[in-house]
Structure 1
Amino acid sequence: MKRILLMSLLAISTALSAQKPVELELWPDGAPNSNGITTPEQKLENNRISNVSEPTLTIYPAAKPNGLAVVVACPGGGYIRLAMNHEGHDMADWFNAQGITYAVLKYRMPNGHHDVPLSDAHQAIRLMREHANEWHIQKVGIMGASAGGHLASTAATHYTAGTRPDFQILFYPVISMDLSNCHKGSRDNLLGKSPSEELVRLYSNELQVTGDTPPAFIMHSSDDGAVPVSNSVSYYLALVKNKVPASLHTYPIGGHGWGFRDSFTYKRQWTGELEKWLREIL
């Protein structure tokens, strides 16, 4: 009898915590710019996609919202593809369990049009704020991994009226576009192979931090062979220099691209630290 009761309570709990995701077109009336991609979106192995030209925002409303935060996640992929699951959708339940409404941005690939991904990130933040009453939102944060971390940190340093995120969460982010410290594939795909020095500086986000940049939680592995950990370190130092609250967590091993995967040795550490940090900023 006790077993039946326990199973019934578990079923009720699961039903209450399960919320149907809501997918919104990012630009239902048409985007203000184009990335020039005309070929169909392509599904790749490991749940990655490329040729993205029709952006969407998938929202996972929290069953018991704390009313204070939402994360707009920008998956990585070198600005040429998107790792939608382990750097995006797979984290929805974890955030929802904390009362945080969670959203995954399928943003357009730049294809050499550097303004396009940032336009999508700005629009995602606007949409979340337009639905603030519906989803009980008071703060909107931006999160990203790898090249998505570059997009998230760009949104945090290149905002316009109404698009400044309230906080930023960065997984092994690309930060700099300087050849001495960058992920060259992300740089080439975003800025082109021969960008001007002005453009390189504009998108080197460690150089764009001000005292108004939102608080940051940053994670990186010291042995990352794709995006040097110095990207996170330089960004963290710029935040500290400008007196912006920042938390940097580096792990001795793990490489690149771990996201929400259980195989990452330090998953328990980063989830625990991020959960604490989110409670503090809420």
Structure 2
Amino acid sequence: MLNRRGALATFVTGLLASGLARGAKAETLPMTDPTEIIELWPAGPPGAAKVTAVEAVIERGDPDGLRDRALTHTRKPTLVVFRPKTPNGAAVVLMPGGGYERVVQDKEGYETARWLADRGYTAFVLFYRLPGDGWAAGPDTPLQDAQRGLRLVRSRAAAMGFSSDRIAIMGFSAGGHIAASLTTRFAAKVYERIDAADDLSARPNLSALIYPVITMDPAAMHGGSRKQLLGPNPTSEQVVLYSPEKQVSADLPPVFLLHAADDKSVPVENSLLMFSALKAKAIPTEMHVFEEGGHGFGLRFVAGKPVSAWPGLFETFARRHGL
């Protein structure tokens, strides 16, 4: 097991330094993990009385020799900070996937954060709590961390060199469900105020949902995420509340959607449902569905595949909408 707070990352993808958007083959470069970490809850996260799970980082391995770590049983949710050399005045909060069983650290977290920081964004990787670990808030536990994290980022905007109204979120897979939930339920009261940061809005200024889990409807759901979030027998009311496509209102920010048609883990219908719901409410939205890509590719695409264009497409969308 590895310590996520200061461990040396022996390998990290060279895509970030050598033509990532062109789909170049990954290389290995030594790079130290960031050490700037913001704890979300200074007195400890709410609802911990029945939580006994032990937090750990596991190395999952990667066929190309890259780091592929994941955090399990998060006990102290944090934001890990990646500062750009030349800030562009905007920030992005990343919410990696993991099926609500773990939080992917490298592929959808640190690698994407470095890519964003290289382009001027102040990037934050959110390590959120998992709903199956016994937290009192149950399925609202990850949303508690997402709301609190967004508010903390907004509270530190001036000090960290970006605008408080230029904050995007980007979620992958189950992290995409958290990002979609924050996008649609940013005003839901899911925890009690603890300090001045909680007086700020949790509404992101832009949302990017990357091969996201969206619906809890059995017709298109990701079964593992639904079971971890809602248990084996959710009520019909829970299915509606925790399906972001059912929670779309007219005051949402612009949304970027990305999926591969051949995704065998999270059906592409998840993004299609969200896109249709957003269009019905006239929310600015853009969706890219690629023929090939599978699931969980992050920035590690296969050379020559059209899906490798997605980071540039996101960047163009973000700039067009003020980021």
* Fold conserved between structures, TM > 0.5: yes
Matched, 1:79 2:100: yes
- 1:216 and 1:180 map into 2 onto residues whose CA distance is 23
Displacement, 1:82? 1.3
- How big is each residue's C-alpha offset from its partner over 1:249-270, in whole Å with a ceiling of 9 and x where there is no partner? 0110111110111437235311
Kindly provide the CA deviation profile for residues 33-61 of structure 1, in whole angstroms up to 9, marking residues without a partner as x. 33843232122213122111211101112
Give the aligned partner of residue 9 of structure 1.
none
Q: In structure 2, do the counterparts of structure 1 residues 129 and 226 end up closer, same or farther at CA, with 3 Å as the change threshold?
A: same
Separation in structure 1 between the aligned mates of residue 43 and residue 231 of structure 2, nearest angstrom: 28
Superposition pairs of residues 4-19 of structure 1, within 5 angstroms? none
Counterparts of 1:46-85 in structure 2, within 5 Å, are 46-67=68-89, 69-85=90-106
Root mean square deviation, CA, Å: 1.8
Q: Alignment partner of 1:58: what SS?
A: strand
Partner of 1:273: 313
- State the match for 2:151 in structure 1: 126
Q: CA deviation at 1:142?
A: 1.3
Residue of structure 2 in register with 1:34 after alignment: 48
CA distance in 2, matches of 1:41, 1:277: 37
Q: How many residues align?
A: 264
TM-score by length of 2: 0.78
Q: What CA distance in whole angstroms lies between the structure 2 residues aligned with 1:79 and 1:224?
A: 18
Residue 204 of structure 1 and its aligned partner are, at CA, apart by 0.7
Task: State the one-letter code of the partner of 2:263.
Answer: D
Shift of 1:243: 0.6
Q: In structure 1, what is the equivalent of residue 181 of structure 2?
A: 154
Query: Runs in 1 of length 4+ with deviation above 6 angstroms?
Result: none
Q: In structure 2, how many angstroms separate the alpha carbons of the residues matched to 1:21 and 1:212?
A: 36
Q: Secondary structure at the match of 1:86?
A: helix
Q: Which has the higher contact order (CA 8 A, sep 6+)?
A: 2
**Cα pair 2:45 2:76 within 8 Å, conserved:** no
Contact 1:122 1:155 in 2 (8 A): yes
Return closer, same or farther for 1:193/1:101 CA change in 2, 3 Å cut-off: same
Distance 1:226 1:35, change over 3 A: farther
Q: Residue 142 of structure 1 aligns with which residue?
A: 169
What runs of 5+ residues in structure 2 fail to find an aligned partner? 1-31, 61-67, 188-199
For 1:101 and 1:274, locate their aligned partners in 2 and report how far apart those are by CA, in whole Å.
16
Q: Distance in 1 between matches of 2:101 and 2:300?
A: 22
Q: Secondary structure at the match of 2:227?
A: helix
Three-state SS of the structure 2 residue aligned to 1:178 is coil
SS at match of 1:119: helix
Gaps of 5+ in 1: 1-17
Contact 1:219 1:250 in 2 (8 A): yes
| Equivalent position of 1:98 in the other structure | 119
2:129 aligned partner, one-letter code:
R
**Can you list the C-alpha shifts for 1:83-118, whole angstroms capped at 9, x where unaligned?**
111111101221112211100000001116101100
On the 8 A contact 1:221/1:250 being kept in 2, the answer is: yes
* Aligned mates of 2:151, 2:210 — CA distance in 1: 23
* 1:211 aligned counterpart, secondary structure: coil
Residues 147-202 of structure 1: per-residue CA shift (max 9 Å, x gap):
00000000000012611111101110000011111001100101111111111100
1:214 aligns with 2:238: no
SS at match of 2:249: coil
Once the two structures are superposed, what CA deviation does each residue of 1:123-143 show, in whole Å capped at 9, x if it has no partner?
100110110111222221111
Question: SS of the counterpart of 1:103?
Answer: strand
Q: Residue by residue, what CA displacement relative to the aligned partner does 1:52-77 show, whole Å, maximum 9, x if unpaired?
A: 1211101112221111x211111101
Which letter does structure 1 place at the counterpart of 2:316?
K
Provide the TM-score with structure 1 as the length reference: 0.89
C-alpha contact (below 8 Å) 2:107/2:300 kept by paired residues: yes
Q: How does 1:231-242 map to 2 (within 5 A)?
A: 231-242=270-281
- For 1:21 and 1:262, the matched residues in 2 are separated by 28
Identical pairs, percent: 40
Is residue 292–residue 307 contact of structure 2 (8 Å, CA) maintained in 1? no
Provide the secondary structure at the position in 2 that maps to 1:87: helix
Q: What is the alpha-carbon distance in structure 2 between the residues aligned to residue 275 and residue 48 of structure 1? A: 26
